[in-house]
Amino acid sequence: MKKMKIKIKNNNFDLKQTFLCGQCFRWKEDESGAFSAIVSGKSIKTVQNGDEITIESDHTREFLENYFDLATDYSEYINRFSADPTLKAACDGSHGIRILRQEPFETLISFIISQNNNIPRIIGIIDRLCESFGEKRGDFYSFPDAKTLSALSEADLAPLRAGFRCRYILDAAGKVNRGEVDLESIYNMDYESGKALLKTIVGVGDKVADCVLLFAYHKTEAFPMDVWIKRITAEYYSSGLPECMGEYKGIAQQYLFEYFRKHAEGK
């Protein structure tokens, strides 16, 4: 295992905030505070000590820099968003969030599972999906690929307790496996074309498509409208989103989502 150390500037990377803000569901925190996951088939372990983060993995440095979006200074987003008072308050509490570049198929299936569901249960279903159909890598399981899932039936998926979403998982896996939805091609598509292609999958509407476009393809103009963001926009942005969000609405959305969700818990 190779180790890589990075120094954080301007408090713009916090492992806990990044992994637990709702963009991903598979990073596990151990007793020591380290976070681990299998990403694109290989293990990654991360440890944070103040402004230093250690990343341990067999992935290349290039892969990791891309996955964690290390070339981007998120304090520039925060400066930009500070023109709006609501957004400024949201950024203050979550300055260490970074938007990851996750594997598209995993992101697609995960957000299909997320619909009309809550985060603890989403994590449970995905854990059972990986344990049942993924491959064991050390202490964890990989996310099953489209070929593996497309060979399954709804009865096979019943133990996941994903309910009506099982049909959607199978439609997505089938379309991806048959090449009807070429997930690689979306990297080179504009936002609208990528969204249209994703929405040909049964069970993928505007919100799920936007989550995939933002959290896998890093298309920052995607603005996922979940129940929280609907409430927030109705209360604070009824006359439209603030100018300062620009083409980075998706990043802004994540600060808002996390801020209001945290507040609702009474923290």
Partner DNA sequence: ACCCAGGGTAACT
Partner DNA sequence: AGTTACCATGGG
204 in contact with DNA (CB under 7 A)? yes
Measure the CA dihedral 233/234/236/241, to 10°: 40
Write the burial class of residue 175 (CB in 10 Å: 0-12 exposed, 13-18 middle, 19+ buried).
buried
User: Count of residues binding DNA (CB under 7 A)?
Assistant: 38
| Binding window for DNA (CB under 7 A); candidates: 32-40, 45-53, 131-139, 224-232 | 224-232
Which lies closer to DNA via its Cβ, residue 43 or residue 110? Answer: 110
- Binder to DNA among 19, 68, 81, 228 (CB under 7 A)? 228
Residue 205 binds DNA (CB under 7 A): yes
In this structure, how many other beta carbons lie within 10 angstroms of the beta carbon of residue 227? Answer: 9
Report the residue from 12, 15, 21, 197 that binds DNA according to the rule CB under 7 A. 21
If binding is defined by CB under 7 A, does position 262 make contact with DNA?
Answer: no
Question: Helix 206-215 and helix 249-264: axis angle, to 10°?
Answer: 110
Q: Is 229 in the site for DNA (CB under 7 A)?
A: yes
Closer residue to DNA, CB minimum distance, 32 or 118: 118
- Minimal distance in Å, beta carbon 61 to DNA? 27
Q: Measured between alpha carbons, how far is 133 from 130 in angstroms, rounded to an integer? A: 5
Query: Can residue 208 be called a binding residue for DNA (CB under 7 A)?
Result: yes
Q: Is 38 one of the binding residues for DNA (CB under 7 A)?
A: no
Provide the minimum distance between the beta carbon of 96 and DNA in the complex, in angstroms, as a whole number.
Answer: 15
Residue 22 binds DNA, judged by CB under 7 A = yes
Q: From the list 53, 146, 211, 252, which residue makes contact with DNA (rule: CB under 7 A)?
A: 211
Q: How far is the CB of 123 from DNA (least distance, A)?
A: 10
Binding to DNA by CB under 7 A, coded x per residue (else -) over 106-145, reads -----x--xxxxxxxxx-----------------------
Per rule CB under 7 A, is residue 161 in the interface with DNA?
A: yes
Residue 174 or 224: the one with the smaller Cβ distance to DNA is: 224
Q: Which residues of this protein are in contact with DNA, per CB under 7 A? A: 21-23, 111, 114-122, 158, 161-164, 199, 201-209, 211, 224, 226-229, 253-254, 257, 261
